[in-house]
Amino acid sequence: MTDTVWMNWQNDQLGARIRVALWLHNEIGEGNRFNKQQLRQAIPDVEQVDRRMRDLRPAGWIIRTYRDMANLSPDELLLEKIGAHIWEPGQRSAGLRAISSKLRREVLERDHHRCVRCGISAGEPYPDDPSSSARLTLGHVTPHKHGSAAHLENLITECARCNEAVKHLTGVQFSAEQVWDRIQELPKREKQKLLAWMAADRRLMLETEQVWALYRQLPAIHREALNKRLGTVLGTGDGSAS
Ligand SMILES: [Zn+2]
């Protein structure tokens, strides 16, 4: 058996991540578009093959979706840059560096245990899909270079849905017009807030929400005391809703 046959994306003896990398490298090529159906047809025997494709990002691969490129249609992907050749000996573990639990905790704390993209917190159901609840994960701000260590500045808290943009393609979809209708219903102040979030491509924490996150960290007895105190200041008695 020659190396060429062995190092083929059709070889099911290879790991799924390597097969996806080989398929993209040999069949698609840098700068070209493809879709998830093609990927699934090429490597049909692997579950969650698109997850394996996302696993290439920490190895320097840049794969764009319609979410970050306006000229892609929702089922299209663009192989912008081929990263580490993970099928080559010595490159196998590129991008597989584990994030320490300490670093993970630091990132989550800095981001107030919320997805910086959509603002959802862990376990909270999605407003547009109440049957599924959010799981928080760490994403990379920019695909990190092969060999560089994971660090705080390059990591952000994202929910699995925002992180797995490709998977989201199969999920609940609203048309741009439907979203625009909802935008128009917002009061002007809220529209301005939304515009700032759009510019930053993340949900900026409002001051009230920051205080809420701080309040939630307190033990129940202190929360109760603050609840009473604020209720008194606002003249609503014990602070409970009436
Ligand atoms: Zn999110």
CA of 119 to the centre of ligand 1 (A): 6
Instruction: Report pLDDT for 143.
Output: 59
Answer yes or no: is 25 within a domain: yes
Q: Is the pLDDT of residue 172 over 60?
A: no
Mean pLDDT confidence for 126-135: 82
Residue 111 sits in the same domain as residue 158: yes
**C-beta separation of 74 from 9 below 8 A:** no
Q: How far is the CA of 34 from the CAs of 27, 37, 38, 57, 66, in angstroms?
A: 10, 8, 7, 16, 12
Residue 153 sits in the same domain as residue 114: yes
Mean pLDDT of the chain: 82
Instruction: Report pLDDT for 90.
Output: 77
b/e string for 156-179 if b means 16 or more Cβ within 10 A? bbbbebbbbbbebbeeeeeeeeee
CA of 134 to the centre of ligand 1 (A): 8
CA of 113 to the centre of ligand 1 (A): 11
CA of 9 to the centre of ligand 1 (A): 32
Answer yes or no: is 94 within a domain: no
CA of 166 to the centre of ligand 1 (A): 13
Running DSSP on this structure, what letter comes out for residue 171?
S
Answer yes or no: is 231 within a domain: yes
Confidence of residue 32 (pLDDT cuts 50, 70, 90): very high
Instruction: Report pLDDT for 173.
Output: 62
Find which of 18-27, 209-218, 228-237 is predicted with most confidence, using mean pLDDT: 18-27
Residue 145 sits in the same domain as residue 180: no
CA of 160 to the centre of ligand 1 (A): 7
Last residue of a domain, which of 81, 112, 146?
81
CA of 98 to the centre of ligand 1 (A): 22
Which of the pair, 173 or 141, is modelled with greater confidence? Answer: 141
Residue 178 sits in the same domain as residue 116: no
Answer yes or no: is 88 within a domain: no
Residue 158 sits in the same domain as residue 180: no
In the chain, the number of structural domains is 4
Residue 77 sits in the same domain as residue 8: yes
Residue 51 sits in the same domain as residue 75: yes
Answer yes or no: is 86 within a domain: no
Find which of 34-43, 59-68, 157-166 is predicted with most confidence, using mean pLDDT: 34-43
CA angle in degrees (0–180, nearest 5) for 7-95-100:
145
Q: Which domain holds residue 197?
A: 174-205
Q: Is the pLDDT of residue 23 over 70?
A: yes
Instruction: Report pLDDT for 175.
Output: 78
CA of 167 to the centre of ligand 1 (A): 13
Instruction: Report pLDDT for 241.
Output: 46
Residue 29 sits in the same domain as residue 67: yes
Instruction: Report pLDDT for 216.
Output: 78
Answer yes or no: is 91 within a domain: no
Last residue of a domain, which of 13, 46, 81?
81
Q: Is the pLDDT of residue 3 over 80?
A: no
Answer yes or no: is 90 within a domain: no
Answer yes or no: is 96 within a domain: no
CA of 72 to the centre of ligand 1 (A): 21
CA of 140 to the centre of ligand 1 (A): 14
DSSP element (H, E) containing 63: strand 62-65
Which of the pair, 149 or 19, is modelled with greater confidence? Answer: 19
Confidence of residue 94 (pLDDT cuts 50, 70, 90): confident
CA of 28 to the centre of ligand 1 (A): 30
Residue 25 sits in the same domain as residue 74: yes
Residue 7 sits in the same domain as residue 76: yes
Length of the chain: 242
The rounded distance, in Å, linking the Cα atoms of 62 and 24 is: 11
Residue 128 sits in the same domain as residue 146: yes
CA of 63 to the centre of ligand 1 (A): 19
Mean pLDDT confidence for 3-17: 76
Instruction: Report pLDDT for 118.
Output: 84
CA of 141 to the centre of ligand 1 (A): 14
Residue 12 sits in the same domain as residue 67: yes
Q: Is the pLDDT of residue 5 over 80?
A: no
